[in-house]
Amino acid sequence: MSERSIRFGSFELRPERGQLLSGGVRVGLGSRALAILVLLAERAGEVVAVQEITDRVWPNIFVQENNLRVHITAIRRALRAGAEDDIEIVNVPGRGYRLRADVTIEATGEQAPEATMSAEIRPLPLPLQINRLIGRESCVTEVVECIARHRLVTIVGPGGIGKTSVALAALTELRTRTAVCFVDLTNCTSLAHVATATAAALQSPMGQDTTPAVLVERLRAAELVLLIDNCEHLIDIAAKAAEALLHSCSRVRLLATSREPLRVPGEVRVHLQPLPVPGAADAVETIASNPSVALFAERAAAAAGGFRLAEENARQVAAVCRSLDGLPLALELAAAAMPMVGLEGLSTGLVGRLSLLSFGRRTLARHETLEAMLDWSFELLAPDERLILGCLSLFRSTFDLAAAVQVATPNGAEDARAAQAILQLAAKSLLFIEPSRQGVAYRLLETTKAYARRKLEGSGHAEIAARRHAEWVGMLLDRAQADWLRMDRAAWWERYGNAIDDVRAALVWSLGEAGDKRLGVRLILASAPLWLGMSQFAEYHRWLQQALATLDALGQRGGAEEIQLQVGLCVLLFNADRPGEGFVRAATQVLRIAKKIGDPVARATALWLLSGQRGIMGDHPASLTLAQQMLAPGSTDVDRDLQHFAQRVVAGMTFRVGRMEEAAAIGAELVRQCSDRTAYGAVLRYDHSTILRGNHSVTLAVQGRLDSARALVMETVIDGRRLRNPSSFCYLLSSAACPIALWLGDDELARHYADLLGCVADENRFTYMAELAAWFSRIADLRMGKPLQPFPIDRIRPPLPHDKDVFITACAALCDAEATARAEASAPHWATAEILRADGENRLRAGDAVAGRAQFERALAIAETQGAGLWALRAATSLARLVTPDAAARILVPALARIEGDEHYPDVRAARALLPELTS
């Protein structure tokens, strides 16, 4: 193709070279921005429609206009380099963009001039790049800059990552400055073959005498960049040839591509990484601008003419790109296969099938399938390296060198050899190296992993390697438990959070037919915090059930292991489907085993579970009785964590029976002593600090200490959100944050907390918590006068007794005959006074002032006896409306005196409105 020079002002645009110059100096601009500028310059003075621009620059890809605006902004910024020029890109609303400039376009009619060589050396033209290079602009620039400063640059990366394409693009840029030559070593097997291939590429008239020595002599005075492509299969020969050329030919620069470095003195390496892939949560606009997606979309459009990236298929394409790790060859094979299997077919089991699909280049056998490409690399490995690569395929996430050695060797005697082999695999680009806080981490691309696993299964070593991997997972979980107390939570999750996939794989083997069942049960127990913190409740439920069945089959029920499994089951059942019969059955089994084997922690945990269940069902006295039994009578030397755990539950249940002052005293002392360093196993009991402070803030609010309650609960929500403990966070929002915000009259904050609760509950499939979120949202909307949406009947069940009482305290209109009858039939509890007051308001609206007043008086008496200052204020306000001003003052003044807070709170404001002399 002939080159063009597009000039406007002090700028020169060279489309074929991808360059914008200002006064002869190159201006940095991305490839898409350059393409936009070229189109606008070609049509200078005309309005170019947005659709025409996107079709030209993003062919077959759906993009939003704001993506175009980003590039237009970049162009405008670049054009400011010509400060003296009157050049402007004008936006014509609703139509498109126009370049305002005097433009001249010159066609040279010939190829870009290439540096001349001697008549004896006339390099063959570079192979033409048939497909556009996507997402590698910065890599090409890096290679060009490295070649300018160094005499040997090696592009290193695994097969199919685009080493040759990047190298040829770099040579294309370099050929205007110096002579360039491309030598393909694919079919070479000896040093003589390398010399012959090089001579042929240089078109050097050496006849039959193409020995390496003669070649070096011919190149001694030459000035060129020599690309030796595909060196990995004769790496030693290529290294020797490169070293000889560098020593003898001072003006020759070498560019090499290989799956491993040449390791020649002076070598500079450019490591090619896979193309970036879109995240699972990325917006469609972000997906459309992703290089992996752009590559797939362009190649898919070529394979299937009607394909176009659009909003409805963008996420499927993104999933395909992620599953292939952004490996360009894999993306091209997938795109080529799409007309036969469809996008939906590509999304399922893609990696395994693509290994065998033959839609690659017929002219390059090793790139015809992924299997062929990986065979090429595999055959170059030593036998021990092949076996170790297979063993490493068992890792589901990144791993360090120590982990790799443990899984790859049957005993410590061969650790040094295994470590060396692993480092060789990394050097040969079969392992990717990633930085980590602990140094470096290794990973296999998914395509390589699937291939290596098939090789392992055929080697006869698969079962041995799977056992070593499961044992490594057990050791990792032991370290996680030891680090739980000493590490910051965020750092702990960064180090161990990714292990969940390896835990899953280890469990599949351990609990399988040929696995180690005892090891599997131990892994399930040790991994509880991971499953809960990663929100994998449903899957963990299945593992727990399988572990219980395994213990049953082994005849080992009734011990410490079953206790931990049953406790985990209780936590799951509570969140998934309320504390029903299955919950009570599991908790009762824990209590039975704990008493039998004398385990105080398990005993306390079981009593806490049963106490909580009775409290939710409205039986608060029974709940307190169970809580008070958590520490056995006469027990000494009680673990500090266990003691605080029991005291926290007792404080909560003491509040529920209406003993506010006593509950507040216990809670205040626990908050003072509180530490966020809970034991590893205590994850199944919720986060102590979060629940303690949430419960205490509720007690403060009902006492009337409104400012203190508000400050504490808001602080706890902020802290709780940082923790990876969704069950604790949901408990905090549902039991403290939402009710308190409603009690204090901050309906907008209550709606925010309810939305947050609903979001976390939905993410974790916490059915019970999702129901509570729906109720709190509805109450907040009702209070704010917003139109109410119908309840989703399939998701919302009638509230449990305690939850219904909470709702009534936030919205008196929800009080009905059932709630009133239940409150009057039992001993006064934490919400009795407010339920009776709400019933009194209902009776007043029905015209029965006498009955209404009687309920207000009962409510006030109960609230004052309990020390429930907020309920007392509400009851006093309701009663004050029915009596004389003097009587109202005698009721309201002491009620207001017990409140910490001003007229910022609606209940305080309403009470003071009835006392004009106090508000004047």
Per-residue pLDDT of 1-54, as tens digits, reads 457 888 888 888 888 777 788 776 677 677 778 888 888 988 888 889 888 888
Are the CB atoms for 366 and 373 separated by under 8 Å?
Answer: yes
| pLDDT surpasses 50 at 165 | yes
| Residue 450: Cβ-neighbour burial (10 angstroms; 0-12, 13-18, 19+) | buried
- pLDDT one-digit tens code per residue, 666-714: 999 999 887 655 554 554 557 788 999 999 999 999 999 999 999 999 9
CB 336 within 8 A of CB 360: yes
Percent of residues, the chain, with pLDDT higher than 90: 41
Mean pLDDT of the chain: 85
Lowest mean pLDDT: which of 391-395, 637-641, 828-832?
A: 637-641
Residues 6 or more apart in contact with residue 573 via CB below 8 angstroms: 579, 580, 582, 583, 586
The answer to whether 68 touches 36, Cβ cutoff 8 Å, is yes
- pLDDT band at residue 85, thresholds of 50, 70 and 90? low
Q: How far apart are CA 63 and CA 903, in angstroms?
A: 53
For residues 25 and 269, the model is more confident at: 269
Residue 684 has, within 13 A of its CA and on its CB side, a CA count of: 25
pLDDT score for 368: 52
Q: Indicate if the pLDDT at residue 780 is higher than 90.
A: yes
271 pLDDT tier (thresholds 50, 70, 90): very high
Query: 768: buried, middle or exposed (CB in 10 Å: 19+, 13-18, 0-12)?
Result: buried
Q: What percent of the chain has pLDDT over 70?
A: 89
Please tell me the predicted confidence (pLDDT) of residue 75. 86
Give me the phi and psi of 25, to 5 degrees please: -100, 135
Q: Is the pLDDT of residue 919 over 50?
A: no
User: Which of 61-65, 87-91, 131-135, 173-177 bottoms out in mean pLDDT, i.e. has the lowest?
Assistant: 61-65
Q: Which SS3 state, helix, strand or coil, does residue 7 take?
A: strand
DSSP letter (8 states) at residue 634: T
Residue with the larger pLDDT of the pair 858 and 460: 858
Number of C-alpha atoms within 13 angstroms, CB side, residue 112?
20
Are the C-beta atoms of 389 and 425 separated by less than 8 Å?
Answer: yes
Q: How far apart are CA 779 and CA 645, in angstroms?
A: 32
pTM for this entry? 0.63
What number is the average pLDDT over the span 100-124?
65
Band (299; pLDDT cuts 50, 70, 90): confident
**Which residue in this structure is represented by tokens 């005849």?**
555
Residue 108 has pLDDT above 70, yes or no: no
Given a cut of 60, whether residue 786 has pLDDT beyond it is: yes
Cα 324 from Cα 353, distance rounded (Å): 12
Q: Which of 38-52, 228-242, 513-527, 733-747 has the highest mean pLDDT?
A: 733-747
Q: Give the separation between CA 361 and CA 379, rounded to whole angstroms.
A: 20
Cβ(738)–Cβ(754) below 8 Å: yes
Tens digits of residue pLDDT in 844-889: 999 999 999 999 999 999 999 999 999 999 999 999 999 988 899 9
Q: At what angle do helices 415-427 and 383-392 cross, to 10 degrees?
A: 80
Helix (H, G, I), strand (E, B) or coil at 632: coil
